Amino acid sequence: MRRINIGELNINQKPVKEYFSLELFGLVDGSNISLPVALISNQDGPIVTIIAAQHGNEWNGSYVADTLYNSLILDDVVGRIIILPIANPPAFLQKGRVSSFDYIDMNRTFGFVKRRKPTEHLAKIIFEEFVLKSDYLVDLHSGGPGQYLPIVEVYNSKRIDLALSFNLDKAMVVKKDVGSIILNAEKNGVQSFSIEAGRALKINYDYAELLLKGLTNFLKATGVLKSKPVVKENQTLYKGKTVVPSTISGFFKTELKLGQKVKKGDVLAKIKPFFKSEPTEIINTTNGTVIYLRYEELISEGESIVHIAY
């Protein structure tokens, strides 16, 4: 792979379809942090940045980003598509949500002044060199100790029409966590979308195919790809979601399935604390649809069991 120093980065070159390793900064031992970047640029038009694996154990996004790069034809592009398939290389190499360099969650670092640790430094470069120069941002994620049905989340409700162009059947306006990339990109006028699909350390190839089609259609909707988008009708637009945390710690069991409709009063899970003979039932308080479900069988008090969209 070609190596380019950050000082020599030029995202305005065109026409070009290439990927390269961007050399960012040195660590204390003299080794370098580098970032894989793909640039597809042709004619004048919007700039779309697609980023995956801020959390290094979320492989669905990296796989989809890679597949998307290979599927794009330069002649179809009117503008620039920037793909960062592995936004957090140290965490990706360690197959962890965060890296052991500093244990910092990259998607909680945006918008803060403090920039001391490698993950913060990396995030700052990604934000300044790519996100702030973009018209649109797509940030790809998967679940951690649980699994998501594919869903588009936006922070700004004006983005709903474009969110539906992903054709994932589910979209929602959410309050994103402080420090998240889409919240801070929106504050800077970049139209931003976050996609959740599947679970960590797994590639769900069915979801990946859905996401690839969805991303391609979204790129058409932004105008950066030439052909006309086709937006599915009757998609579900959720008003919000209830995240149900566990009230106790212990061994976790559930009979729920992803996509299942649940009612108030339903048993969501049973959790048996250590050295107690009987489990405690977690009772539902929201009517809605299960869009995220825990599979990890150990749970600590406060960790989430299920997300119910309504």
> Which residues contact Zn ion by CB under 5 A?
55, 58, 141
User: Cβ 91 to Zn ion, closest distance in Å?
Assistant: 10
Cα gap 218→165, rounded to integer Å? 5
User: Cβ 120 to Zn ion, closest distance in Å?
Assistant: 17
Instruction: Report CA Rg, the chain.
Output: 20
User: Cβ 99 to Zn ion, closest distance in Å?
Assistant: 14
Q: Which is nearer to Zn ion, 47 or 98 (CB)?
A: 98
Q: Which is nearer to Zn ion, 58 or 266 (CB)?
A: 58
Q: Looking at beta carbons, which residue is closest to Zn ion?
A: 141
User: Cβ 200 to Zn ion, closest distance in Å?
Assistant: 8
Q: Which is nearer to Zn ion, 55 or 199 (CB)?
A: 55
Let me know the angle formed at the C-alpha of 203 by 102 and 262, rounded to the nearest 5 degrees. Answer: 95
Q: Which is nearer to Zn ion, 83 or 282 (CB)?
A: 83
Q: Which is nearer to Zn ion, 58 or 153 (CB)?
A: 58
- The structure tokens listed for 1 are 């792979």
User: Cβ 97 to Zn ion, closest distance in Å?
Assistant: 7
- The structure tokens listed for 12 are 């305005």
Q: Which is nearer to Zn ion, 201 or 248 (CB)?
A: 201
User: Cβ 85 to Zn ion, closest distance in Å?
Assistant: 14
Q: Which is nearer to Zn ion, 172 or 225 (CB)?
A: 172
Nearest to 247 by CA among 273, 274, 276, 277: 273
User: Cβ 9 to Zn ion, closest distance in Å?
Assistant: 25
